[in-house]
Amino acid sequence: MKSKAMMALKILIAFAIPFAISALYCLVRGVTLIELYLPASYNNDCVFYYKLVDAIVTKGGPTGFFGFNESHAMIGGFAAWSPLLLMPWALWGVIFGWTYSSVIWCNLTLFGIALAVFVGLAEVDFKTLGALFVMLLLFPGFSINLMNVLPEIVVVSVMLVYLGFAVRAAAKGPRISYIVAMYIIAAYLTVTRPYMLLLMIIPTYYLGKQTKKSVAALCFVLVSGVSFLGNVLVGHFFTAAYFEPLFNTDFVKEFMAGHFSMSFWMAVSVFKSMTKGIAGALVDAFSYGLTMGTQYVVAIVTAIAAFVMAVRKGENKYGALCWFHFTSVMALLLAIVFFLRKTNEGGRHIWAFAVIGIVIVCACGFDKLGIAVKAISAALLIVFCTRGAIVPTDYDIPMPNEAAKENVEFWKTVFEDKNVFASDAKGYDNTVMWVFIDYAGETGVVTEYNELYALPSGMGISCCYPDYVISNFDNLQSKFIVADSRGKVAALCAEKGLKVVGEHENVIMYQRY
Convert the pLDDT of each residue in 67-110 to its tens digit.
999 999 888 778 888 899 999 999 999 999 999 999 999 999 99
Q: In a 3-state reduction of DSSP, which class is residue 422? A: coil
pLDDT at position 432, please?
A: 97
Name the residue among 350, 352, 397 with its Cα closest to residue 148: 397
Q: What end-to-end distance do the CA atoms of the chain give, in Å?
A: 70
β-strands 460-464, 443-446: how paired? Answer: unpaired
User: CA-to-CA distance for 83 and 76, rounded, in angstroms?
Assistant: 10
CA distance linking residue 382 with residue 389, whole number of Å:
10
Q: Are 293 and 283 in contact (CB under 8 A)?
A: yes
Q: Phi-psi category of 69—alpha, beta or left, where left has phi over 0 and alpha has psi -120 to 50?
A: left
Distance of CA 370 to the CA centre of its chain: 33
Q: What is the residue-level pLDDT of the chain in tens, covering all 513 positions?
A: 678 889 999 999 999 999 999 999 999 889 999 999 999 998 889 999 999 999 999 999 999 999 999 999 888 778 888 899 999 999 999 999 999 999 999 999 999 999 999 999 999 999 899 989 988 988 888 999 999 999 999 999 999 999 999 999 999 988 999 999 999 999 999 999 999 999 999 999 999 998 999 999 999 999 999 999 999 999 999 999 998 888 888 888 888 888 889 989 998 998 999 999 998 888 887 777 667 888 898 899 899 989 988 887 666 788 889 999 999 999 999 999 998 888 888 888 999 999 999 999 888 876 666 666 667 667 766 666 666 556 666 778 999 999 999 999 999 999 999 999 888 888 999 999 999 999 998 899 999 999 999 999 999 999 999 999 999 999 999 999 999 999 999 999 999 999 999 999 999 999 999
The predicted pLDDT at position 389 comes to 56
DSSP label at 353? Answer: H
Q: What is the CA radius of gyration of the chain?
A: 24
Residue 364 has a pLDDT of 84
Q: What is the pLDDT of residue 311?
A: 85
What pLDDT, on the 0 to 100 scale, is given for residue 289?
A: 67
The pLDDT assigned to 117 comes to: 98
Burial of residue 427 (number of CB atoms within 10 Å: 0-12, 13-18, 19+) = middle
pLDDT at 1: 60
Q: Where are the domains of the chain?
A: 175-240, 402-511
Question: Which residues neighbour 4 within 8 Å (Cβ) at sequence distance 6 or greater?
Answer: none
Annotate 196-256 with DSSP letters as a single string: GGGGGHHHHHHHHHHS-HHHHHHHHHHHHHHHHHHHHHHHHHH----SS-SS--HHHHHHH
Q: What is the pLDDT of residue 197?
A: 95
Beta bridge partners of 502: 509
Q: State the pLDDT at residue 196.
A: 96
Answer yes or no: are the C-beta atoms of 393 and 289 closer than 8 Å. Answer: yes
The number of C-alpha atoms within 13 Å of 445 and in the hemisphere containing its C-beta is 20
pLDDT of 146: 94
To the nearest 10°, report the CA torsion of 435, 441, 445, 448.
-60
In whole angstroms, give the CA distance from residue 361 to residue 369: 9
